[in-house]
Amino acid sequence: MCTNFKYPTAADGTSCIGRTMEFPNEIPWQIGVAASDLQGACTLVPHGKTWQAKYGVVGMSAFNNPQWYADGMNNAGLSAHLLYMPDHATYYAPKGDGSDIGILDLIAFVLGTCSTVAEAKAAALSVNVVNVNPKEIPVPLPLHLVIHDKDSCAVVEFHPDGPRATDNPVQVATNSPYIEWHLTNVCNYLSLSPDNPAAITIGGVKFAPFAQGQGFRGIPGDGTSPSRFIRVLTDVRFSPTPADQQDAELQSIRVLHGFDIATGSIMEPAMGGGLTQELTMWSIVANLTGNRYLYNTYDDPQWFVIDLAATDFTTSRSVAFSHSGGPTPITV
């Protein structure tokens, strides 16, 4: 399961997107770099989609394949994120007409060729996402695509009757069910407020809140997708305007860490049978206006940042995660 949001735009115009990746520790992740002149191709099926990239891409890729992204941003200020959608993602039979593409190739295609949400929606709807799994992943990957630019957000979902691109006015996303359901569910939480309720008097006795935070009484605290949608929407809805780029990035990180999964608190079926832990494998902040991609991994508390303006996009490659070695010792 995953959580995605746009943090309020900073006073200096900085626009940051946050995202967590919750999954069992069963996929080898790397930083993927896709060349700005990548000649992309879907290799899952014969006569698959090919494309000529215009933009360089950095993101979270898997299996040392810098074209297989679960998350990423390009140097034109567009980000794309694949989020899990169990029982709510229908992929399609190959057409063999040059439009077929695998779900893990979709971000490389969209970010390599598009610079805005409007362009990305059109591109995602122009291809046929095929119901074919790569041999490296022996289980289905039901996913939907969330795309952001500095001004807007849209969600591309794969319904039984075909893909749909839906504008997302609240600019947050989680997982199943479809986005329309989540937006309707917001109506159940209109009373949430960062302010404490006023004291009331009953029978001559005054009743007042015991402490701060009672305005959020009723906010769901479990790990389900509907609950996380409401919680992250509430977090960003009431967040103050950041002062600048550093403030926007740090406040985005603060929100993200509110969705870290405590080890052992969520169990799910393992690929090889039995049960396994679901973990927050990594989190990212995509600074769309600053061309910066920040990330943090499960086994390292340190955050790292990639400057896309200084990244070499002449070649595609996979790069191992950086590691700090854990908390930094100091002398006092």
pLDDT reported for residue 97: 96
Name, in order, each residue with C-beta under 8 angstroms of 9's C-beta and a sequence gap of 6 or more: 15, 150, 241, 248
Say which DSSP state 32 is in.
Answer: E
Q: Are 66 and 34 in contact (CB under 8 A)?
A: yes
In a domain, 143, yes or no: yes
Percent of the chain at pLDDT exceeding 90: 86
In a domain, 105, yes or no: yes
Query: With 90 as the cut, is the pLDDT of residue 135 above it?
Result: no
Dihedral sign computed on CA atoms, order 126, 132, 133, 134: negative
Residues 21/24/27/31 CA torsion (nearest 10 deg): 30
In a domain, 328, yes or no: no
In a domain, 232, yes or no: no
Number of domains in the chain: 1
Cα(13)–Cα(16) distance, integer angstroms: 10
In the structure encoding, which two tokens stand for residue 17, read together?
A: 């997107």
Query: pLDDT, tens digit, for every residue of 224-233?
Result: 999 999 999 9
pLDDT reported for residue 269: 81
In a domain, 12, yes or no: yes
Query: With 80 as the cut, is the pLDDT of residue 139 above it?
Result: no
Mutual orientation of helices 106-113 and 117-125 as an angle, nearest 10°?
130
What confidence category does residue 277 fall into, taking pLDDT thresholds of 50, 70 and 90? confident
Query: pLDDT, tens digit, for every residue of 8-22?
Result: 999 999 999 999 999
Query: With 80 as the cut, is the pLDDT of residue 272 above it?
Result: no
Q: Give me Rg for the CA atoms of the chain.
A: 21
Q: What is the mean pLDDT of residues 217-223?
A: 93
Dihedral sign computed on CA atoms, order 234, 177, 117, 34: positive
Cα(266)–Cα(250) distance, integer angstroms: 27
Q: Are 230 and 179 in contact (CB under 8 A)?
A: no
Could you tell me which residues are beta bridge partners of residue 2? Answer: 21
The top-scoring range by mean pLDDT among 53-57, 214-218, 327-331 is 53-57
The mean of the pLDDT values for the chain is 95
- Read off the CATH number of the domain in which 142 is found: 3.60.60.10
In a domain, 35, yes or no: yes
Closest among 292, 311, 2 to 146, alpha carbons compared: 2
In a domain, 222, yes or no: no
**CA 286 from chain center: how many Å?**
10
In a domain, 201, yes or no: no
Query: pLDDT, tens digit, for every residue of 10-67?
Result: 999 999 999 999 988 888 999 999 999 999 999 788 899 999 999 999 999 999 999 9
Mutual orientation of helices 245-257 and 225-237 as an angle, nearest 10°?
150
Domain extent, residue 52, equals 2-174+241-319
Q: What is the mean pLDDT of residues 158-186?
A: 98
Query: With 90 as the cut, is the pLDDT of residue 258 above it?
Result: yes
Could you tell me which residues are beta bridge partners of residue 80? Answer: 72, 147
Cα(323)–Cα(320) distance, integer angstroms: 9
Amino acid in position 95: K
